[in-house]
Amino acid sequence: MSDRRTSIWEEFASAAQVEQLERLGRERHWGRSLVLVGWLHLLAFGLCYYLTVGVGYHESTGYLAIWAGELLGVGLIFRLSGGRSTGGHTPLSRFVARVWVAYFVLAFNLGSMNTLRGHELFELFPAMASLASFGFLVMTFAVSRRFFAAVLVMFVAGLLMAAFLLHAYLVFAVAWWVVLQGIGWTLFVAGRVPVTPARPSTALAVPVGSSRG
């Protein structure tokens, strides 16, 4: 009988794959980038909140322009902060990127459905928090169980957005700010700690489904 225990929280990626992802993150300064993106997102959706509550503006064109500008800003932050990667992307980093590309595609789909339904307010907006919660749930199972804290933040944010729809932009802005600051500063601090390379025998001995914090 095998001694290896399985758990619902067990990550799918191997320890070696997660270590490769962490090294790539340190090389590309992902921690610093995520902290800056968090502030950019707070600014962008704070502006959306002002347009909704302060001005009473509900045309989709203005909000779409803000979101497009934010996406361009995110790309610029990662490019300027991280520079060029010398080691290339890893299989796990490509998987993570595809998860969040899927999130943006589905978020755009929600906005399109809201416009087609003719809603003045973004009635389907709370579902975007649920999409983010699912994205972080995938990260929890694939990379590290520590992402489950982000799952809870976005889950609660979705409920608050549904209960207080007029203030949904503010709730969404603060929720993502909290999540991105938490992840960003964790990566930033970890990146300042020297890493001792694992011995080859130790790295090869780690099972693919080993559990990590």
pLDDT in tens, 120-177: 778 889 999 999 999 999 999 999 889 999 999 999 999 999 999 999 999 999 999 9
**Backbone dihedral angles phi then psi of residue 6, each to the nearest 5 degrees:** -110, 155
**Is the distance from CB of 11 to CB of 17 less than 8 angstroms?**
no
What percent of the chain stands above pLDDT 90? 51
Q: What are the pLDDT digits (tens) for 73-96?
A: 999 999 898 766 555 678 888 999
Query: Does the residue 65 lie in any domain?
Result: yes
pTM attached to this predicted model: 0.79
Please state the domain count of the chain.
1
Residue 12 lies in a domain: no
The parent domain of residue 141 ranges over 20-193
Residue 137 lies in a domain: yes
d(Cα 108, Cα 67) in Å, to the nearest integer? 10
* CB contact at 8 A, 138 and 99: yes
CA distances from 157 to 16, 96, 133, 162, 176 (A): 34, 22, 9, 9, 9
Separation CA 63–CA 33 (nearest Å): 24
Mean pLDDT computed over every residue of the chain: 83
The span from the CA of 60 to the CA of 115, in Å, is: 7
